[in-house]
Structure 1
Amino acid sequence: MASAPEGKAPKLGLNVYGSAVVNPYKISILAEELGLTYNYINLDVAAGDHQSDWFVKINPNGKVPAIVHVKEDGTSVTVFESAACLLYLTHEFDKEHKFSRPVGTPEYWTQLSWLSWQVAGYGPMMGQAAHFNRYAYEPVPYGAWRYTAESRRLHSVLDKQLSTSPYVGGDQITIADFAVFIYTHSARWCGIDINEWPNVKAWHDKLLQRPGVQRGLQTPVPYPFSDAAVSSENQEFYKTLRQWGAQGIKAASEKWKGEAAPVPSDHRNYE
């Protein structure tokens, strides 16, 4: 197995592996909110860092974020997937439960439920909406309709929750808020106008005012998918990004293509 290139091997302390895509910003936001000192290692996606042998040893799935916590005694802990990283950081560094709830309490399970809602539903559906609305190699109207509609439904779920609760998981801000926030902050890129959901918009704007959130949104570069950014006059960047993304996604998926395994009811939904 190859070793990490110079500057990308983990150092003593907390190492965060990420890039200028959505999910790593959850980690930089929490790290900034906690006031942590950390080493941010920015992967070059275009160069294939995330699929390199040395990084796949850190995250077998070849995705960001991931963290490697090298402790003073020489031991290290490696964690991948954004929810697991958030839970690890609060376990290790949030002993006062500023952004988490004590394990086993009813509030903890509420926090975990909304965090799971984000990683299992809200994030993937928004991601698919972004794919079909912004990155599809060719127009796929049904895909755009399906995932935009589901994203709208999920915003209605979130808006209802926030109509009776100041934060996603209750009366205290938690990692569930940070996990959900980065997708509401990307709403227009995914095809959603959050102004349609006043409680979501008010909650989003409240979090955006937090200095820690603002600092986290600058790491490793200013977050490129906010409503303001994608609506700016700098559309050449987004045209290039969409072309590169469409070609890259198609190329990465090509090796895995195949026919769906058949079942006896095939094609009845077309009749």
Structure 2
Amino acid sequence: MIDLYYWPTPNGHKVTLFLEEAGLDYAIKPVDIGKGAQFEPDYLAISPNNKMPAIVDRAPADGGAPIPMFESGAILLYLANKTGRFLGIPEGADAPTALRQRIAVNEWLFWQMAGLGPMTGQYGHFHVYAPEDIAYAKERYRKETERLLGVLDKRLEGRAFIAGGDYSIADMAAYPWINPYTKAPLDITRFPNVERWHSDIAARPATQRAYALSKQVNPDAGKPLSDEEKKILFGQGAR
């Protein structure tokens, strides 16, 4: 059993995408980040960076004590290695092919973690949430987000999935960060390979199940943040 500490955000969706695809047993432990649940001591014992998601694997492969984990990319890698699934390796692949597929998956997983996620997040912050209209910041992050979409579009030319091979955790990591801000949409039609890939993943039954959890866990998902929620999410310094 996996305990999933979750709230419906792009990073939260990454883990539900995996769990639904893999069919693993899991229990959602809601972490209402708009109310500051990510700062509670019990949660910080699992996720010391006070971010979401996190998991506790109560049945690790070594048969030992439960394993807590934070950071969405690390969680995806852990679950992929635990199950031997979604590493992009075609069935029956020989050892050299499997090795190279693992390398490609890792590269593009870290590309998302270091680039697509943070830069798209900053794009969303300055276009949707910032209290001031800062033209330089809006343009800076729009251009960088579009540059990253261009990189992904080129990568997907002639490929069904990002790492080549089969559907993988690289796709699960990137998918939720493609145009996640309905109030500040980007023109994805400029990136036809991304648009095709995104549409294909959206059609997967596991994707639809994962995203259906949003309203179940947070009936207010998609509504504007209150001033208090913005203060909690964006106003924290060192404690």
Q: Same fold (TM over 0.5)?
A: yes
Contact 1:185–1:204 (CA under 8 A) maintained in structure 2: no
Structure-2 change in CA distance of 1:249 and 1:40 (3 Å): closer
1:47 matches 2:35: yes
**Greater RCO, CA 8 A, separation 6+:** 2
Shift, 1:43, TM fit: 1.0
Map of 2:109 onto structure 1: 115
Aligned: 1:171 with 2:165: yes
Cα distance in 1, alignment partners of residues 195 and 229 from structure 2: 28
Residues 81 and 193 (structure 1 numbering): CA distance in 2 closer, same or farther, change over 3 Å? same
2: distance between equivalents of 1:132 and 1:86?
28
The TM-score, its normalising length taken from structure 1, stands at 0.77
C-alpha separation in 1, matches of 2:197 and 2:114: 21
2:68 maps to 1:84: no
Which runs of structure 2 are paired with 1:24-39 in the superposition (5 Å)? 24-39=12-27
- Match 2:208 to one of 214, 218, 221: 214
Report the CA distance shift for 1:87/1:29 in structure 2 as closer, same or farther (over 3 A).
same
1:63 to 51, 63, 74: 51
Map of 1:248 onto structure 2: 232
The residue aligned with 1:139 is 133
Question: What letter corresponds to residue 2 of structure 2 in structure 1?
Answer: L
Question: Do the aligned partners of 2:88 and 2:164 also contact (CA within 8 Å) in 1?
Answer: no
Kept after mapping to 2: 8 A contact 1:17/1:64: yes
Gaps spanning 5+ residues in structure 2: where?
90-94
Structure 1 residues 33 and 150, CA gap change in structure 2 (3 angstroms)? same
Q: 1:186 aligns with which of 176, 180, 187?
A: 180
Percent identical among aligned pairs is: 31
Say whether 1:153 aligns with 2:147: yes
Contact 1:133 1:191 in 2 (8 A): no
Shift of 1:222: 6.5
> Shift of residue 18 of structure 1?
0.9
Residue aligned with 1:205, SS = helix
Gaps of 5+ in 1: 1-12, 231-236, 257-271
Of structures 1 and 2, the larger Rg is shown by 1
Mapped partners of 2:135, 2:229: distance in 1: 19
Equivalent residue letter for 1:111: V
**Deviations 1:223-251 (CA, angstroms, capped at 9, x unpaired):** 99xxxx97xxxxxx33xx26455443453
Change beyond 3 A, Cα 1:244–1:46: same
* Distance in 2, Cα, partners of 1:187 & 1:131: 10
TM-score by length of 2: 0.87
Moved more, 112-121 or 214-223: 214-223
Q: Do the aligned partners of 1:17 and 1:42 also contact (CA within 8 Å) in 2?
A: yes
- The residue that corresponds to 1:201 in the other structure is 195
Note the aligned Cα RMSD (angstroms). Answer: 2.5
